[in-house]
Structures are given as C-alpha cells and as structure tokens.
A and B are shown apart, each in its own frame.
Chain A
C-alpha cells in the first residue's frame, strides 16, 4: 500500500529557510542546504522549497539553491516561487526538482498548468493554493476563497471550484494551504480537506496548522489527504518542542497509519 507522506516545506529567502505565521513575520531558521541535509538524514519523505520573495522581487527562482540541494538529497523535491513560463519549469526540473508548484501565477495564467502538464507530465505540476474561510455566499458557495501573493490579495474565486478546475487543467497533485490555520499549531483544517477530497481525484497535500502528532493522525485517519506539510514541528524556533521525523512516524504507525518506517 502507498504510505502517507510527511513533507518538510521550506520558505526560502536569500538561500535561507524562514518560518512565518499566517504568511507573515518570517523569522530566520537555517541555510536551506544544511536543513535539507538534516531532513534527508532524518528520512523525511519529501521536500518543498518556496522561493517566497522571487515573485515580489520580479526575478526567477533561485536555481543555484535547487542545484546544490539536488546533489545531496535523494528524495523527491518540489520547487515553487518565481515560475512564470515553461522555460522556468524546464530549468527547475533540469536542476534536479521533481515537481513544480504553481500558485498565484496559475491564478493569473491558468494555461500554465495545462502547458506544464503537456510538456512534462501531470505528475510534475502541483497546484498550490492559499485558502481562507470567508463564509458562504453566492460567489463563494463553499465559503472558502482563494487568496494570492502571500495571502494578501483576495481573488473572489471559490477555492473548491478552483482546485477542481486545476485538476481539469492538468495538475497532478494539489496542495491546499489553510491561511487561517497557518502557523497556529491548532491542527489542519479538516473540513476544508474533506471538501477538497470530494472535488478531485488527484492526490492532495494538506498544509497549515500542524503543531502536534495528533494533528497528523487526525488528518490521515479522518480525510483522504495523502501527504501533510509539517514545518513548525520539525524546526521552528518558536515551538516549545521540535519533533524528529522518526518520532512523528512512530506515533503515526502506532495509531495504525501506514507510513514509511525510517531505515536504521
């Protein structure tokens, strides 16, 4: 059986990993390459890198960081931020990334999902979306709205509609980020994930809110999410306690969740 994945997500500024709360107030954690090494040794299942200032600084993705990580980390990793074209995608894939994450840019230009999917395969294109509870309305029937540009800009788009469309456009995986829960350590937005799982048949990643092993257990036993983004729990200096990947996996395995056991 396919195991549930734990993904460490790095918000990168200038080659260093940072940690935000509700997409703001990023504090410095560690150099990206160093933390990637640590996570690899701990046998994390997957890594995601967001070059979070690439778009606002109007530059391409930090390809040197991607290359340096690809040489020492032999697990899949996804990159996002600053991807604007097929050429950008090709460059990131050639640098060693498995998957490309598109977010705000895909809202502005949905065709990039289709183009990327056709050129490199659907499995290479992850649609990541920032979602906020706004209450149900005729325009936002699910009550969840898509935001872009670091959760600052409302789009008026229904989040569940958008991920369904993202799948139809060719996304091979969808990452659902809860803006409300991000950095709160209060657990994933399970209601949001249940709406998402009913809307699409591609794999789903849950993001935002993990603060304790029980949150992972709840996600994997109560929803069909196949992967969970954890970052605070692993390395945030704001946390009273950080967990190792092994501790989290042991806890999940004890709860009957199918995970990849770390090798000795």
Chain B
C-alpha cells in the first residue's frame, strides 16, 4: 500500500501537487511535521521561491533529520523534489548564498542573464537517460527558474535541457529523483511522469 506524503510548507505549492496526485487517482496526505512522514512510501517536496527560504521553512517544520533518515540512511521511501525542491538537494545555492541539504554533490548557480532572458519561463524539451523509472521519452515540461543545478557527479544527471547552454533539468540517484521543471504543471507529459513515480515501489 502506497503512503504518499507531500511536504507542505509556507512558500511551497503543495496544493497543486496534491491536485495532480488526485487527478491520477492516488491518495496522498500533506506532511507538516516529522511525525507525518512515518511509514511513507513516497515523499514529495514541492518548491517555489528561493533555496534559502525553503531550507528555513523545512527547518521550522523540524522535518530535516527525519527526512534524511528515511530517504538517505534507510532509503525506505522514494523521494521526488520539484523545482526548488531539487535545488536544495545540492550542497550550496548561489541564491542568497544558501547552505543546502548536500544529499547530492554540487551547487546551484544563476543563469547568465547577459545571454538569455532570466528567469527561464516556459516549456522546454527535456531528454532523459534511463533510470529506475525506465525510459522516459523526450518531451516538453514547464520550467520557471533563475537558478539551475550543476551536479558534482555527472552520473546524477537524469534529464538535460538547453537554455543558453545545456543544463541539468532532472537528477536521479538511487531512490532520489528530482526535477527542475514542474511535473504538476507540465500537462499530460508531466502527469505521465508523475504517475510513473507514484506507481514505483521502493
């Protein structure tokens, strides 16, 4: 039995992710404290806003140690980070010089606005390497971001897109998945990808 938990914090867009899960016929619950994560099979960390603000919100929920225990140490749940929920998995973000979770090696840097319009806003084509979710076909997904991740280990890059230059649009390492784009706002392509994640078992 899947136990899907969507972390709900002040700046996040947890309701949109909940609506998407509902559309896919999946029962999910909001998690607003460490206890809410108990028994989770899938944990989703939505994100909007800045990496620093998100780290602060998670700190205020008192959820970080439990999250690390479940996802990184025990690996008992599948994890999906979305947008800023992907960025904070790295060690550091340039945005407000924020220290992040450091589950993945690497950092988050700003797009070069001398070459392209920043933020990146709109639908961009993403190509994927194979992962535990199988083969995801190349498709357009919706992005809204001024910053993007530069993984320290290129094996962690799961999806790649181009904006000025190629950038990491999605990452995967074991049970950890994350997308810079919004699966919950990427139409049917996003819902299909989200469903694959929710249908997978740890």
**Chain A residues close to B by CB (< 8 Å):** 1-5, 40, 43, 45, 70-72, 74-76, 93-96, 98, 119-124, 172-173, 201-204, 224, 226-227, 260-261, 263
Complex interface: chain B residues within 8 A of A70 (CB): 15-16, 19
Do A122 and B123 touch (CB < 8 A)?
no
Distance in angstroms between the alpha carbons of A252 and B23 in the assembled complex: 31
Distance in angstroms between the alpha carbons of A121 and B191 in the assembled complex: 25
Do A3 and B187 touch (CB < 8 A)?
no
Complex interface: chain A residues within 8 A of B125 (CB): 1, 3
**C-beta contact mask, B7-20 vs A, less than 8 Å → 1, else 0?**
00001010110011
Do B113 and A2 touch (CB < 8 A)?
no
Complex interface: chain B residues within 8 A of A226 (CB): 117, 121-122
B168-202 at interface with A (beta carbon < 8 Å): 182, 184-191
Other A-B contacts than A98-B13, A121-B50, 13 sampled, CB-CB below 8 A, are A2-B122, A4-B122, A74-B185, A96-B15, A96-B16, A98-B144, A120-B11, A123-B144, A203-B119, A203-B121, A261-B140, A263-B187, A263-B189
Complex interface: chain A residues within 8 A of B144 (CB): 76, 98, 123
B99-152 at interface with A (beta carbon < 8 Å): 113, 117-125, 139-140, 142-146
Smallest CB-CB separation from B121: which chain A residue?
A203
Select the residue from B50, B119, B121, B191 with max chain A CB neighbours within 10 A.
B121
Known: A76-B142, A76-B182. A172 touches B188 (CB 8 A): no
Among A2, A71, A72, the residue within 8 A (CB) of B123 is A2
Task: Determine how close the nearest CB of chain B comes to the CB of A173; give it in whole angstroms.
Answer: 6
Do A263 and B188 touch (CB < 8 A)?
yes
Smallest CB-CB separation from A44: which chain B residue?
B187
The 7 closest A-B pairs by CB, nearest first: A260-B140, A260-B123, A123-B144, A121-B49, A203-B121, A3-B123, A123-B119
Residue B22 is within 8 A (CB to CB) of chain A in the complex? yes
Residue B69 is within 8 A (CB to CB) of chain A in the complex? no
- What is the interface of chain B mostly: helix, strand, loop, or mixed? mixed
Do B185 and A122 touch (CB < 8 A)?
no
Among B50, B143, B162, B190, the residue within 8 A (CB) of A74 is B190
**Chain B residues close to A by CB (< 8 Å):** 11, 13, 15-16, 19-20, 22-23, 48-50, 113, 117-125, 139-140, 142-146, 162-163, 182, 184-191
Task: Determine how close the nearest CB of chain A comes to the CB of B182; give it in whole angstroms.
Answer: 7
Do B121 and A172 touch (CB < 8 A)?
yes
Do B119 and A172 touch (CB < 8 A)?
yes
Distance in angstroms between the alpha carbons of A121 and B140 in the assembled complex: 23
Task: Determine how close the nearest CB of chain A comes to the CB of B189; give it in whole angstroms.
Answer: 6
Distance in angstroms between the alpha carbons of A76 and B141 in the assembled complex: 11
Among A72, A75, A93, the residue within 8 A (CB) of B13 is A93
Distance in angstroms between the alpha carbons of A119 and B117 in the assembled complex: 22
Smallest CB-CB separation from B142: which chain A residue?
A76
Among B121, B146, B187, B191, the residue within 8 A (CB) of A43 is B187
Complex interface: chain A residues within 8 A of B113 (CB): 201
Do A2 and B163 touch (CB < 8 A)?
yes
Complex interface: chain A residues within 8 A of B23 (CB): 72, 74
Do A96 and B119 touch (CB < 8 A)?
no
Select the residue from A121, A203, A226, A263 with max chain B CB neighbours within 10 A.
A121
Task: Determine how close the nearest CB of chain A comes to the CB of B142; give it in whole angstroms.
Answer: 6
Do B146 and A122 touch (CB < 8 A)?
yes
Do A2 and B191 touch (CB < 8 A)?
no
Complex interface: chain A residues within 8 A of B48 (CB): 93, 98, 120-121, 123-124
Do A95 and B185 touch (CB < 8 A)?
no
Do A71 and B22 touch (CB < 8 A)?
yes
Complex interface: chain B residues within 8 A of A4 (CB): 122
Smallest CB-CB separation from A172: which chain B residue?
B119
Do A74 and B187 touch (CB < 8 A)?
yes
Complex interface: chain A residues within 8 A of B189 (CB): 263
Among B122, B163, B188, the residue within 8 A (CB) of A5 is B122
Do A71 and B19 touch (CB < 8 A)?
yes
Do B184 and A74 touch (CB < 8 A)?
yes
Distance in angstroms between the alpha carbons of A173 and B163 in the assembled complex: 17
Do A202 and B124 touch (CB < 8 A)?
no
Select the residue from B16, B118, B146, B191 with max chain A CB neighbours within 10 A.
B16
Distance in angstroms between the alpha carbons of A71 and B48 in the assembled complex: 19
Distance in angstroms between the alpha carbons of A3 and B120 in the assembled complex: 11
